[in-house]
Chains A and B, each alone.
Chain A
Amino acid sequence: MSEPNVSAAVSPAPTFSEALPKIPMDWAPLLLVPVLALLMLPLVGSFPTWVTLTIAGLAMGMMIFIMASGLTLVFGLMDVLNFGHGAFVSVGAFAATLVLLPLRGWVEADSVLLNLGVVGLAIVVAMLVTGVLGWAFERLIVMPVYGQHLKQILITMGGMIVAEQMITVIWGPEQIPLPLPETFRGALIFGDAAIEKYRLIAVAVGLAVFVTMFLVLNRTKIGLLIRAGVENGEMVEALGYRIRRLFVGVFVAGSALAGLGGVMWGLYKETLTAAMGSEIMVMVFIVIIIGGLGSVGGCFLGAVLVALVANYTGFLIPKLALASNILLMVAILLWRPQGLYAVVKR
């Protein structure tokens, strides 16, 4: 924002925008979402149904984005693909029960403030638990195998098995119902279109996470270092920054985001199972492949695309709903083999 002033102050030199031509913005992937949504309007037929479907898709996409963003960032920075990321989602959701079940009164109260408070508290607890777990995971499981892909895949899978089993040991093998707070229930009616309130909340939270991540990555020093680390980690080290600390920080943040995603997803499904994280992981992997491994913006677009396509096909051709993700992935990769926004590094 302040750049023009700065360049005006040192006016004799050529302005920076001339000296360093900006990389042209890649608009094509951004257009995919609105084009897809508009194309589906005549196919779906009725406008209210289309609105409901689109909002549902957006909400789903936001929740997947929250879960996937940490994974893709960790991969971009450290070249570690955490196959155990799904376990953090489950742990986050189960940790939320520590708050939501004892404070049942607040959940059932017909007051927006109390409901928001209890969910906020649950989110904080879940993010703390998964953050600490992520730190331990990075120390114990991931650290010894940096740079060895095969072992990474195996060991993070093993970590996931252990974490999932630990959930059943601590919380028992049965499904746990997780009721949605009273005021989050029901739907808002706009004309003929019914929109579930919780989906709007999910969209809001997802957008907030995306905007925060975007600002942190593009407007702060930490973000600058992370982006530099994604492009060339050795150079960042050579400039005297401890990239190890950055690694740990990003890993913890990514795990905490998975925990947040787990709470959102758990409240959406309203029942919790230990395997819920690994079930959603397939979707998350497709999303980060589509988005381009390591790219947060691509991950956001990919999540919204996958969820919208799944929702539309679920309505139009129900039997194809899951295969639609694979088809979408194949189509995108045929168009851009590195994903929507390729992270040029390796």
Chain B
Amino acid sequence: MLKSILSGDFPRSRILSIMLVLTFIGLAVAPFMLSGARPLNTAATICIFIVLVASYDLLLGYTGIVSFAHTMFYGIGAYGVGLALDAMGPSWWAVFTGLASALALALVLALMIGLFSLRVRAIFYAMITLAVASAFAILASQLSDFTGGEDGKTFKVPEILSPGFKLIEAEIFGRSIDGKLLTYYLVFTACLLLFLFMLRVVNSPFGRVLQAIRENDFRAEALGYRTVVYRTLANCLAALIAALAGALMALWLRYVGPKTFLSFEVMTDILLIVVIGGMGTLYGAVVGAALFIFAQNYLQSLMAEASEALAGVPILAQAVHPDRWMLWLGILFVLSVYFFPTGIVGKLRNRK
């Protein structure tokens, strides 16, 4: 049972298993355990980032492709749903139209970029995706009549998902069953299914070919696998899942804007999470995303205190300023690429 759910890919480390189970339980009961908007927001962001990062890991960790266009697909999903809901009013029909057109656009773009540049080397692909993604981000903020420009757009979601909606009057475990809760569980379930689906993909023969390409593309080609086709397929799959994650995020936030969905900061966040969590294993995405988002939301207040305590010391006070936490993460990132390229998960698995 568990084997078929996890597609035979077990965590293979006791500590890792405990961490995963804790994350799962924590996310599953988050709305009942915690009160207030901020913890729930953190939990939903963790869910979505697990999927987003895992889909990026399909490219980076499993296939060995560096793409900087992942936020573009994330943004396409979000903008698709957001703009459709904004234009057609809050109905499920709008959600599905928006989602379908976003997925179609993501697929076409991924296919085009892939066929255009995946034939050549990794570096080329990285540069082209960087260029295309930044052009897309600027386009999205310039077409302000259509996308709301820099400010983005807020929109209404279907009634069931809106915060004012009450499914039943009574409270369960001291928590009213409102639209926000339903949205959370929609996000949670969708993310869980997507994650298990990706686990299935990477442990299928298709996933094995991707890993073969990562290890030695020349050899994979010699064995008779058309690496361009496999790379392009992986690229399209990752793009579609990223678009789905974006759509979920848009439904959760009831807002789309370039800063949240298309900015380069999101891309560096994804990159940091994948590498620190562990490349080439989807569990790395879970551990990495959970730790990262948690730290992003709570560690910064800790740093603020440290900064105040060090107020007299010139450079050091600046260095522990909460806005500078990327500095420490960047250093951690560089160190982890050197000393433990398999990330937290690889470290835990090798402890035995």
A and B are interacting partners: yes
- On A, residues with C-beta under 8 Å from B are 81, 83, 141, 144-145, 149-155, 157-159, 161-162, 165-166, 168-170, 172-173, 278, 281-282, 285-286, 288-289, 293, 319, 322-323, 325-326, 329-330, 333
Beyond A81-B123, A159-B334, is A169–B135 a contact (Cβ under 8 Å)?
no
With A and B bound together, what is the CA distance between A244 and B246 in angstroms? 46
Whether A151 contacts B264 by the Cβ 8 Å rule is no
Name, among B60, B66, B135, B142, the residue most crowded by chain A CB atoms within 10 Å (CB to CB).
B135
Whether A289 contacts B128 by the Cβ 8 Å rule is yes
From the candidates B64, B126, B331, name the one contacting A162 in the complex (CB within 8 A): B331
Whether B268 contacts A157 by the Cβ 8 Å rule is yes
Contacts of A153 in B (CB 8 A): 66, 122-123, 126
Beyond A157-B268, A323-B139, A329-B131, is A165–B334 a contact (Cβ under 8 Å)?
no
Whether B135 contacts A166 by the Cβ 8 Å rule is no
A-B contact pairs, 17 of them (CB 8 A): A141-B334, A145-B337, A149-B123, A153-B122, A154-B271, A157-B271, A158-B337, A159-B334, A161-B268, A161-B327, A162-B330, A162-B331, A168-B318, A169-B324, A288-B127, A323-B135, A329-B131
From the candidates A83, A282, A319, name the one contacting B134 in the complex (CB within 8 A): A282
Whether B134 contacts A155 by the Cβ 8 Å rule is no
Whether B327 contacts A166 by the Cβ 8 Å rule is yes
Beyond A326-B131, A329-B131, is A289–B327 a contact (Cβ under 8 Å)?
no
Nearest Cβ in chain A — how far from B299, in angstroms? 15
Whether A319 contacts B337 by the Cβ 8 Å rule is no
Beyond A144-B338, A150-B122, is A285–B127 a contact (Cβ under 8 Å)?
yes
Contacts of B333 in A (CB 8 A): 154, 158, 161
B306-342 residues at the A interface, CB under 8 angstroms: 315, 318-319, 323-324, 326-327, 329-331, 333-334, 337-338, 341
Nearest Cβ in chain B — how far from A319, in angstroms? 6
From the candidates A158, A172, A173, A333, name the one contacting B330 in the complex (CB within 8 A): A158
Contacts of B315 in A (CB 8 A): 169-170
Q: Which residue of A lies closest to B60 (CB)?
A: A150
With A and B bound together, what is the CA distance between A172 and B323 in angstroms? 11
Q: Which residue of A lies closest to B126 (CB)?
A: A153
Whether A319 contacts B143 by the Cβ 8 Å rule is yes
Question: B182 at the A/B interface (Cβ < 8 Å)?
Answer: no
Contacts of A157 in B (CB 8 A): 268, 271
Whether A158 contacts B334 by the Cβ 8 Å rule is yes
Q: Which residue of A lies closest to B333 (CB)?
A: A158
Q: Which residue of A lies closest to B317 (CB)?
A: A169
From the candidates B131, B138, B330, name the one contacting A286 in the complex (CB within 8 A): B131
